[in-house]
Amino acid sequence: MGSVTIQNLVKRYGGLEVLHGIDLTVEDGKFVVLLGPSGCGKSTLLRMIAGLETVSSGDIAIGEQRVNDMHPKDRNIAMVFQNYALYAHMSVRENMAFSMRLKKTAQAEVDERVNWAASILSLEPYLDRFPKELSGGQRQRVAMGRAIVRNPDVFLFDEPLSNLDAKLRVQMRKEIKELHQRLKTTTVYVTHDQIEAMTMADQVVIMRDGVIEQIGTPLDIYDNPDNLFVAQFIGSPGMNLLSGEIVQGAGGKMFQTGDVTCELPQNSAAMVGQKVLYGIRPEHLQASMQGSGLSATVTVVEPTGPEIHLYATLAGHEICAIAHQRLDWKPDDELKLNPMVDRVHLFDAETKVAIPAG
């Protein structure tokens, strides 16, 4: 009943097309995150689901109902805006009660629901304050409260945590996830923070320039990016990419760049002579100080605590590896790198599409 189905959705502003045919199904009760760089059309898509932007072509359905031309007030959705959009002339209590007041809900029920939401969000001490008397994080929670008292079919969140400090963001992230686990309301959540996307989503939708690049579970997207954009966009530090070509080696197909050759997964569909990009995530590059492996030279060492980021040059390429051992790496040290073969990604150099590993 709370599913959202989007078919071939297009949005144009005058002659400018910003969404080019979006197809997306959000199943009932799922938490879906729209992730993409700034300006890719995430907010536009969300606002179209909410009914705040008109549909240029295509269809949006909530549940079984086509909602293209339905006024936002009739869609039974709740939305949390990036900049809170609180009612400045109303107290926190009235902000949260607003939707129920419109429906002339009985006072007892209004009180009960507002108090319930306030207790979930630890807002009880602030109920009689006005938005301007609250901190950013508190306002954020009021905006959340205003959404959850509603019991909507769908929650829409537009970068709700982007204005919070790092600590509060982590805390709110957990609260939102807990809330979803408790309420099981279909949720569409917009962010450009990949950590938020990875940690909260049942499904991540990666967008770029008005098209969807990939849809999948967080780990699926991380482990099996469909194309170069997704591979580069997800992960920090980003995936290492070496450009070169496929050659026939002694033990089968190999990747070659300069005088470096690397092994490929057994059944890779890459063809000999194909120009490709060879991708490997930093944590899949095992670094050691001696032994066998590709030789690289350390340039920068960044200890982060749980791990050490090693930046190095390999055959003229800037490359990053993650080491967990507490070894005494120093710049200009010789480094031996061993890529984990089954974690190698190959992308066609021209189409930038992933080449299946077999």
Partner 1 sequence: MRDPDSRAGNKLIRLPRWLTSEHPFPWLFPASAMLIVFGLYPVLYSLWLSMFKRNPATRIETFRPSWNWSKVFADDRVIDAVSVTLTYTFIALTIQLVLGLGIALLLDSDRKGFGLLRSLMILPLVVPPAVTGMMFLLMYDGSFGVISHMLYGLGLLSPSTPILAGGTSALWGVIIADVWQWTPFMVLIMLAGLRALPKDPFEAAAIDGATDMQAFFRLTLPMMSKIIALAVLIRGIDLFRIYDYIKVMTDSGPGTATETLTAYAGTIYFKNADFPYASTVALFTLILVVIIANLFIKIFKVRF
Ligand X SMILES: Nc1ncnc2c1ncn2[C@@H]1O[C@H](COP(=O)(O)OP(=O)(O)OP(=O)(O)O)[C@@H](O)[C@H]1O
- Footprint on this chain of ligand X (rule: CB under 6 A): 13, 16, 18, 36, 38-44, 192
Structure token pair of residue 185: 């309301």
Cα–Cα distances in angstroms (integers) from residue 211 to residues 36, 56, 215, 289, in the given order: 10, 15, 11, 44
Minimal distance, residue 17 CB to ligand X, in Å: 9
Closer to ligand X by CB, 16 or 166: give it: 16
Among Mg ion, ligand X, partner 1, none, what does residue 39 contact (CB within 5–8 Å per kind)? Answer: ligand X
Among partner 1, Mg ion, ligand X, none, what does residue 192 contact (CB within 5–8 Å per kind)? Answer: ligand X
CB atoms closer than 10 angstroms to residue 132: 9
DSSP classification of residue 239: P
Closer to ligand X by CB, 15 or 305: give it: 15
Cα–Cα distances in angstroms (integers) from residue 64 to residues 34, 121, 166, in the given order: 22, 32, 39
Burial of 157 (0-12, 13-18, 19+ CB in 10 A): buried
Structure token pair of residue 10: 């297009």
Count of residues interacting with Mg ion (CB under 5 A): 1
One of 87, 317, 338, 352 touching partner 1 (CB under 8 A): 87
Minimal distance, residue 53 CB to ligand X, in Å: 8
Contact 3, 62 (CB under 8 A): yes
102 binds partner 1, rule: CB under 8 A: yes
Contact 52, 10 (CB under 8 A): no
Among Mg ion, ligand X, partner 1, none, what does residue 52 contact (CB within 5–8 Å per kind)? Answer: partner 1
Instruction: Tell me which residue has its CB nearest to Mg ion.
Output: 43
Structure token pair of residue 219: 């780990």
Rounded distance between C-alpha atoms, residue 29 and residue 309, angstroms? 38
Rounded distance between C-alpha atoms, residue 210 and residue 17, angstroms? 8
Instruction: Tell me which residue has its CB nearest to ligand X.
Output: 43
Q: Which of residues 49-78 bind partner 1 (CB under 8 A)?
A: 50-52, 71-73, 75, 77-78
Among ligand X, Mg ion, partner 1, none, what does residue 116 contact (CB within 5–8 Å per kind)? Answer: none
Minimal distance, residue 88 CB to ligand X, in Å: 23
Minimal distance, residue 84 CB to partner 1, in Å: 8
What mask, x for binding partner 1 by CB under 8 A, covers residues 111 to 150?
-----------------------------------x---x
Quote the radius of gyration of the chain (alpha carbons, Å). 25
Among Mg ion, partner 1, ligand X, none, what does residue 130 contact (CB within 5–8 Å per kind)? Answer: none
Minimal distance, residue 82 CB to Mg ion, in Å: 6
Q: Which of residues 26-55 bind Mg ion (CB under 5 A)?
A: 43
Cα–Cα distances in angstroms (integers) from residue 253 to residues 84, 245, 269, in the given order: 55, 10, 10
CB atoms closer than 10 angstroms to residue 195: 12
Among partner 1, ligand X, Mg ion, none, what does residue 269 contact (CB within 5–8 Å per kind)? Answer: none
48 binds partner 1, rule: CB under 8 A: no
Minimal distance, residue 357 CB to ligand X, in Å: 31
Structure token pair of residue 308: 């050490």
Secondary structure (H, E, C), 265-283? CCCCCCCCCCEEEEEECHH
Rounded distance between C-alpha atoms, residue 313 and residue 331, angstroms? 11
Structure token pair of residue 119: 């207790």
Minimal distance, residue 120 CB to partner 1, in Å: 19
Closer to partner 1 by CB, 80 or 298: give it: 80
Q: Which residues sit at the interface with partner 1, rule CB under 8 A?
A: 50-52, 71-73, 75, 77-79, 81, 83, 85-89, 98-99, 102-103, 146, 150
Q: Which residues sit at the interface with Mg ion, rule CB under 5 A?
A: 43
